[in-house]
Amino acid sequence: MWVIFGQEKEHQKRIIVDVGHGGKDPGAIGINGIREKDVVLAIGTEMIRLNKSIFGDEYDIYLTRYDDGFFTLSERINLAKSLRGDVFISLHCNSFYSDARGMEIFTFNSESRKNGYNTRTSIALGDEILRESTLNINIENRGMKFANFQVLRGMIKFCPAILIEVGFLNNPVEAVHYSRPSGIRAIALAILSGINNHLKLK
């Protein structure tokens, strides 16, 4: 029995969720003082819970932080590399003018043949998450984009890597949405469902 259990764990797909900001770095601060670091930690934690309660613990999910600790970008990248994940997802929230709303997802545009495969796969992964979010929680789709973010640049060599801006904390509607447990659950489920769709299609 122990051998069988070990084999099952070995073949689980591993999802690395980089929970942005933390500690002395609150990230964006929105309406009513809602803080980016708290929102993304709640989403990451909820993804772990939903993986167990809805997906039957199908995935091996690791967060880059489990509390309000501060880690540098280099420390996050080194941790993610050591965990050897199948996908890397960095969670963040936007802040701009109050009418701005919606989810946008970034990846790194690598032109090398080896890393180019991970870029293309990252786009497919991001598209699935955007589709789930648009269909199930009616969030505005701001599309897939390229960016030279350090975590993406550092991780694209090892696995598909995306950075999700889940919404705008200074938008009155989205700030209220992400201040509620139901809103956190909805976005966590959409992200996890998008990952699940993508990995099942591969």
pLDDT score recorded for residue 9: 55
Mean pLDDT of 114-122: 90
Domain boundaries, the chain: 21-201
Q: Which residue has the tokens 């809602």?
A: 34
Give percent of the chain with pLDDT exceeding 70.
95
pLDDT value of position 171: 95
pLDDT (tens digit per residue) in 36-45:
999 999 999 9
- Superfamily of segment(s) 21-201: Zn-dependent exopeptidases (3.40.630.40)
Other CB atoms within 10 Å distance of the CB of residue 41: 23
With CA atoms as reference, report the closest residue to 170 among 95, 109, 116, 117: 95
**CA–CA distance, 155 with 162 (Å, rounded to integer):** 9
pLDDT digit string, tens, across residues 81-117: 999 999 999 999 999 888 999 999 999 998 777 788 9
Confidence of residue 142 (pLDDT cuts 50, 70, 90): very high
Q: What is the pTM of this model?
A: 0.93
